[in-house]
Amino acid sequence: QQQVKQSPQSLIVQKGGISIINCAYENTAFDYFPWYQQFPGKGPALLIAIRPDVSEKKEGRFTISFNKSAKQFSLHIMDSQPGDSATYFCAASMEDNQGGKLIFGQGTELSVKP
């Protein structure tokens, strides 16, 4: 059972455009929603994260929008740059005494064309 569903699987955007990646989750107990960025040959690294008590979080060109009632959240990359080309993963976890383990979406391969 895939608890976090991510779309699209791949995305091509022109330089300067807006990249949008969407995720939906099932478990209402999730209370932490991070996005990870992965470059080829590297491990994922935390990009930005949000808690469900806010609807939006912005860090530079990266924004998370969160819709608790719809159980959906999305990543927006403004003014996309070729250096943003990477695989992006959404994830969710719940704070418990079982390690706060992350459940990941399937990933989106983003390519930003110059």
Partner 1 sequence: NAGVTQTPKFRVLKTGQSMTLLCAQDMNHEYMYWYRQDPGMGLRLIHYSVGEGTTAKGEVPDGYNVSRLKKQNFLLGLESAAPSQTSVYFCASSYASQGFTEAFFGQGTRLTVV
42 binds partner 1 (CB under 8 A): yes
Among left, alpha and beta (phi > 0; psi -120 to 50; other), residue 60 is left
Closest CA to 69 of 28, 31, 21, 20: 28
Q: Which of 86, 105, 110, 112 is close enough to bind partner 1 by CB under 8 A?
A: 105
83/99 with CB nearer partner 1: 99
CB-CB neighbours of 27 under 10 Å:
14
Instruction: Please list every residue from 58 through 87 that binds partner 1, using CB under 8 A.
Output: none
Euclidean distance between CA atoms 61 and 4, whole angstroms: 24
52 binds partner 1 (CB under 8 A): no
Nearest approach, Cβ of residue 15 and partner 1 (Å): 26
Stretch in the footprint of partner 1 (CB under 8 A) among 13-21, 37-45, 67-75, 77-85: 37-45
